[in-house]
Structure 1
Amino acid sequence: MLGVIEQTLATQSPLIIDGAMATELEHRGVDTTSELWSAIALIQAPQSVRDVHEAYFEAGANIAITNTYQANIPAFEKCGISHEEAERLIGTAASVALEARERYRQHHANASNASTNDSFPNDARPLLVAGSVGPYGAFLADGSEYTGSYHLSNTAYQDFHRSRMQILSDSGIDLFAFETMPNIGEVQALIGLLSAEFPDHEAWVSFSLGDSGHLCDGTVLETAAAIADACPQISAIGVNCVQPELVTDAIGHISAVTAKPIIVYPNNGDIYHPDAKTWTRCAGALSLSNMASRWAEAGASLIGGCCRTSPADIHDLAKALYRN
């Protein structure tokens, strides 16, 4: 039986992933500088989260990623929020993404199959919601998702991720997104948790890289991809929140060890400074829309953007991939 990613790719390929959540929330007036990062909007402005998801669907995205990257129960509790309220907020993240999909579908129910610029599929295209499962390093709120320099036991990793995954599953997401994963031990723990406790779900795994051939913790990318490939429930393997210039080589490393779909959604090339929680603009960064076709030719079949990208970037990326 085909999984949701394989079924969807049979309808449209490549699939378009959405872009940054925090960047767009900031443009809408939400202050994301707390340790909760974009998850603060689940408390202050959940309707803005929904609107960002809908904006990405309007831009051409097939897949919305829930605003749960930094939304986990320990993070909320650390900020004085009760366990019960934390559970509700994670559920809210899933429900507003699902609501955005429904709003988009209703809005376009009577529209033609082509978008206003006739460049990519619009109302007829498949739409999925992926439940973001960010790494333990994101909870540390010190940039550890870009170093992988943390170590927990297999059980401790699973205990950390279990409740968020259960809430996302119960909320009706289509699949999990194990994203920005810098640490192979954590990936193995997540795969074990998926297999043992969520046998009816699939997930993609996307790694955070130190360079085009290694995870941030130094693990060889082929080794990490082969571990993910061995799990039948992992339906796509790739990289995210990496600089665009690393992507083509990374696709080559991954495709050497797996025939599964490859997913790439890099950041816009700006440099993040975790101590100051600021970004330095990279004026010479590669354009996602200019590189998208090259990544598709190299073997990627799910393509989008991560930090510092916008609905306009995703629109341009989708237009480049579906140019007539």
Structure 2
Amino acid sequence: MSSLLIGAYGADMGGGAAGIATARSAPDGTVVVAGPVLACPSPSWLAVRGDRLVATLEGTGGLAWFRRDGDGWAADGVVATGGRWPCHAAFLDDDTVAVASYGDGAITVLRHGGTAPAQRLEGSGSGPLPAQDGPHAHHVHVLPDGRVLTLDLGADRLHVHARGADGRLERIDSLALPEGTGPRDLIALPSGELALLGEWSCELLILDPAGIDFEIVQILALPGATPGADQAAALSLSADGRHLYAGVRGADLVSVIALEDDGARGIASVPSGGHWPRHLLVDGELLHVANQLSDTIATFRIGADGIPVPIAAVTTPAPTRILAL
């Protein structure tokens, strides 16, 4: 049985959540939302490292810290991120978090116990689509070699940073992606390559991060998705590393991609079990899908062929992130 935390939108972002919900996932696919809610406004993204948990408070621009307290979590401070609409965060070390803010494209670095950001990297640029009128940072990813990647879905850019001895980030490279991609999510593959999800192009880009320059080795259309009508949202990797799952909002489906020796191949799409699948989590043989606008988490069992089969659903307000502990 897995312990889960559920990030969600509250009233300030049009949702009904009171904070971070706690849940558990049973082997039969049942997700039970139970236990105390960690009260905070619109904790849209959650990240955990050791005994620390952070939540981006998207509507208010804050970052909430929590610490383990027995079997639960205790509040450990809130600090302004220095960005507008913070939507993603990743730990750089036990005490330091990098935050991506959609509203202004800023990447900010915050340290536990600090009262203000330790560093702010400004966003810049735009893309060809109306929704790309300016920079919109949306993801932070730390590579095993220590490089820090950030995605800007407004500027169609993947930025590469080195981290200095003082902990500060230095932007050392920037990969221009095809216009209108809208890079939103990134996940490491067993091959060492990276899978990047284009929100606006509804495509999967396979990247080789070796060496100084990143190389795009494959671009694949998401099965069932229609660029211009749909918005791709999130990626999750199967436990055996053989399949990727992508949530597609609009069409409200999950695209299934097989990872094979000669590349990625789209094999299916299945209904997401609700409306607006914003986030996905593979949990062993299960796939949980956070359907934000239908206030549901749908659970699927992943078959031997990699295709998810629906088995259960639970109601929870405006879910935006499912985190396994």
- Normalising by structure 2, we get a TM-score of 0.32
**Structure with greater proportional helix content:** 1
Which protein has greater RCO, CA pairs closer than 8 Å, 6+ apart? 1
**Structure with greater proportional strand content:** 2
